[in-house]
Structure 1
Amino acid sequence: MKALVLSGGAGTRLRPITHTSAKQLVPVANKAVLFYGLESIAEAGITDVGMIVGDTAAEIEEAVGDGSQFGLKVTYIPQERPLGLAHAVLIARDYLGDDDFVMYLGDNFIVGGITDLVDEFRGNRPDAQILLTRVADPRAFGVAELDPSGQVVSLEEKPDRPKSDLALVGVYLFTPLIHEAVRAIEPSWRGELEITHAIQHLIDSRADVRSTVITGYWKDTGNVGDMLEVNRMVLEGMDRRIDGDVDTASETIGRVVVEEGARIVNSRIVGPAVIGSGTVISNSYVGPFTSIAESCRITDSELEFSIVLRDSSIQGVGRIEASLIGRHVEVTPAPSVPSAHRFVLGDHSKVQITS
């Protein structure tokens, strides 16, 4: 059995962060979202991974390498532009051959991994198996309709009027029969080959398509709110570990991780929180559900429920919360006179001002 991991896509909902970084590499608890998926694949006993890459291929390849750090053997499959999940299967045909495979969306996060799902698929070997979860607003997802017995009746991609609240999670398992289906379908109104259409083709052909409704935690980390929520959830599961230097004037409370090489000076850290190596926090407060990556500087500031990427500096700005701060960012106070706000903002930024 192989894995097909999708790591292309523009990540428009995470702009401006994704103007300069692949969305799959934005860190959760100081580890790239993509890495959690690769670890889950390895834990399920799968070693051969085909990785679909696009415009951010160089960055993905630099981070993942040959996959050996995860116990995997990774083969990169370029996709000229994102033309749908079924298109990814189509261009991976030669790599996948006649093997069964799991397709994993690289920006999805599933607590507990996929081992049980893979074992179930191997034991029963239906033609396709999909994961479903109940969501508040299914219009943003692929949606499944089940009959009273739980059999999959139909699938729709981002419907205006969903027939259920069961959304497709970004993990699919297939036998080679899916290759016939992706060749049989036409592009949707979005100009993409939809995997929901390919699976519907299997259903219409009376293939054995099964579903599993999961009740555990799942997130598509496609926007800032979801990133912060996943970060919160992962941090809650971390154990306290102080490998860096915390001076006697500082206080760490609860599940706090201070990596080796980090320094905490005259500051208060309330967990769950993680402080990356080489980061210096001085005269500051870091509150719960905060991840600060390596080589950052936090001075005379307060930070809570936020993610700060590497090599960034926050100095003397009072309180920051519910924020995603990119790499090599400088946040400093504006001049007090005249009273004004001064910004350098990327495309599609959103700013909230209280004064």
Structure 2
Amino acid sequence: MYGVVLAAGRGTRMRPLTDRRPKPLLPVGNRSLLEQVFEAAREVVDEFVVVTGYRGDAIRESIGESYRDRPVHYVEQAEALGTAHAVAQAEPVVDDDFLVLNGDVVVDASLPRALAAAGAPAIAATEVEDPRAYGVLSTAADGSLADIVEKPDDPPTNLANVGCYAFEPEVFEYIDRTPESERGEYEITTTIDLLLGDGRRIDVARYDGTWLDVGRPWELLEANELALAELDAGDGATGATDAIAGTVEEGVHLHGPVVVEDGARLRSGVYVEGPALIREGADVGPNAYIRGSTVVGPGVHVGHSVEVKNSVLMADASVGHLSYVGDSVVGRGVNFGAGTNVANLRHDDENVRLTVKGERVDTGRRKLGVIAGDGAKTGINTSLNAGVKLGAGETTGPGEVLTRDRT
């Protein structure tokens, strides 16, 4: 069975984190989003086909020709014309049943298993409290799919379309017949309507596991929180020696699930409250404090007397001494000057709001710090307000107080 993974989108809602990289390569724990999808499906998939678009070369270079002994093929969707159009790009490669998965959605291995067990064609569905924002499934008496209604005001059920499918190669014929939607795109749900119209049975694969669409910056924090929550479940990450492959100097204190990868260094006086992942080549301390669900990425430098809480520091970022970073996503190669402090809480105790595609959005998070794009830099003693975005390559001056986005 093939696994067709859709990874062509521009990820505009995730800006500035996607200004210099495709969204599927954003880190979640010790893997990229795309690799998380591969890992979830690897048990039932023999070969992967990745549909690329925006910065597709970066995906090819990062993943290569295989993932843990599973061959990886690449096809390109040169123009974003909908999900059915994206799936159609895999036709030259796929000659057997296949799963359709999303390269920016976190699921667990039970979803691909359920789809594979259901047999093609099949659609994955999960129960939600309020399905009005989703495609809602109705089922026939035998449990098969009867209908899909997009974002109904009066949902017929609470079964939401997860956006993952199992198909036979004949679906490409139906995609060829799929008409353009009002949005000017070719939607896979319209293709499914054509299958139903021809009397084809489509099984519904029920799923009740993790389902997180990582579309906006704070959802990347949530994805990492989920990934790190699993550390104490299997990786020996309870302070045990098999989780501590890097250098831990005398006087370092590790509490809870902590992984220190080979080549990482924790200097004397560092205090870590897990779950936390310190990746290869990272250099932390002396006298630094790491807590919450924090990922200190490859080659990251965390200086003297720095506190990092519930944050993601991407590869080669640097946080200078006497700084605080909380509930933040810090892009690759970012340099926070000494004394940079991030605010992560509003004084009125309301949820932090963030600008997404020009609109202020309630993140649902009481605590959220800064979103810093790749290569951003702050001058010493910079203050960054809660919910501020600092664009890729943008800078602040010494002592500057940033209360609005700089992108």
Q: Would you call these one fold, judging by a TM-score over 0.5?
A: yes
Shift of residue 244 of structure 1?
1.2
Cα distance change on mapping 1:318 and 1:139 into 2, 3 Å = farther
Question: Do the aligned residues in 2 keep the contact of 1:156 with 1:196 (CA within 8 Å)?
Answer: no
Secondary structure of 1:188 counterpart? coil
Q: Is the 8 A contact 2:264 2:283 kept in 1?
A: yes
Matched with 2:88 is 90
- Out of 256-265 and 87-96, give the one that drifted further: 87-96
Map residues 290-301 of structure 1 onto 2, 5 A cutoff.
290-299=294-303, 300-301=305-306
Map residues 189-268 of structure 1 onto 2, 5 A cutoff.
Answer: 189-238=182-231, 239-240=236-237, 241-265=243-267, 266-268=269-271
Cα distance 1:269–1:75, how it changes in 2: closer, same or farther (>3 A)?
same
Matched residue of 2:259: which SS? strand
Structure 1 residue 317: Cα displacement: 5.5
Residues 137, 161 of structure 2: 8 Å contact kept = yes
Seen in structure 2, the aligned counterparts of structure 1 residues 115 and 188 have a Cα distance that, compared at 3 Å, is closer
TM-score normalized with structure 1 length: 0.88
Report if the CA contact (8 A) 2:144-2:201 is conserved: no
Counterparts in 2 of 1:159 and 1:321: CA distance versus 1, 3 Å: farther
- Give the distance between the partners of 1:64 and 1:93, measured in 2 at CA: 21
Deviations 1:56-113 (A, max 9, x none): 111000011111x42122221111122111001222222224x211111111221235
Check the 8 A contact 1:144/1:166 in 2, yes or no.
yes
Q: Which has the higher helix share?
A: 1
Question: How many pairs align?
Answer: 343
- Partner of residue 320 from structure 1, selected from 300, 325, 328: 325
Q: Given the alignment, which residue of 166, 169, 177 partners 1:184? A: 177
**What is the CA deviation profile of residues 102-141 of structure 1, one whole-angstrom value per residue up to 9, with x for unaligned ones?**
11111122123545325413xxx45x21111233554544
Corresponding residue SS for 1:52: strand
In the alignment, is the contact (CA less than 8 A) between 1:131 and 1:214 conserved in 2? Answer: yes
Amino acid aligned to 1:279? A
Task: Give the Å deviation of 1:345.
Answer: 2.6
Alpha carbons of 1:158 and 1:331: their partners in 2 closer, same or farther (altered >3 Å)? Answer: farther
In the alignment, is residue 105 of structure 1 matched against residue 113 of structure 2? no
Alpha carbons of structure 1 residues 161 and 9: separation in structure 2 relative to 1, 3 Å: farther
Give the Cα separation in 2 of the matches to 1:8 and 1:58. Answer: 11
Q: Deviations over 1:211-236 (max 9, x none)?
A: 12211112112222322222112212
**Corresponding position of 2:371:** none
Identity of aligned pairs, percent?
31
Change (3 A) 1:152 1:306: same
Q: CA deviation at 1:162?
A: 4.5
Q: 1:317 to 1:190 in 2, by over 3 A?
A: farther
Task: Give the corresponding residue for 1:25.
Answer: 25
Q: Which amino acid aligns with 2:253?
A: E
Distance 1:297 1:83, change over 3 A: same
**Structure-to-structure mapping, 1:107-126, within 5 angstroms:** 107-114=104-111, 116-121=113-118, 125-126=119-120
Q: Is the 8 A contact 1:224 1:324 kept in 2?
A: yes
Distance between the aligned counterparts of 1:91 and 1:63, measured in 2?
Answer: 21
- For residues 259-288 of structure 1, give each alpha carbon's deviation from its aligned partner in whole angstroms, at most 9, with x where no partner exists: 111111221111111001111111211112
Q: Which runs of 5+ in 1 are unaligned?
A: none
TM-score by length of 2: 0.77
Aligned to 2:391: 346
Structure 2 unmatched runs, 5+:
238-242, 341-378, 395-401
In structure 2, relative to structure 1, the CA distance for the partners of 1:295 and 1:88 (3 Å cut) is same
Residue identity matched to 1:175:
E
Q: Relative contact order (alpha carbons < 8 A, sep ≥ 6): 1 or 2 greater? A: 1
For 2:324 and 2:156, locate their aligned partners in 1 and report how far apart those are by CA, in whole Å: 44
- Structure-2 separation of matches of 1:115 and 1:90: 20
Instruction: Give the 5 Å matches for 1:275-294.
Output: 275-282=278-285, 283-294=287-298
**Equivalent in 273, 276, 284 of residue 273 of structure 1:** 276
Shift of 1:205: 2.1
Larger CA deviation: 274-283 vs 185-194: 185-194
CA shift, 1:26, in A, is: 0.6
Question: Is the CA contact (8 Å cut-off) linking 1:181 and 1:201 kept in structure 2?
Answer: yes
Q: Does 1:77 align with 2:75?
A: yes
Q: Evaluate the alpha carbon distance shift between residue 331 and residue 261 of structure 1 in structure 2; reply closer, same or farther with a 3 A threshold.
A: same
- Code of the aligned partner of 1:321: G
Q: Which amino acid aligns with 1:120?
A: A
Partner AA of 1:171 in structure 2: C
Deviations 1:139-174 (A, max 9, x none): 544332335664422223455665443222242101
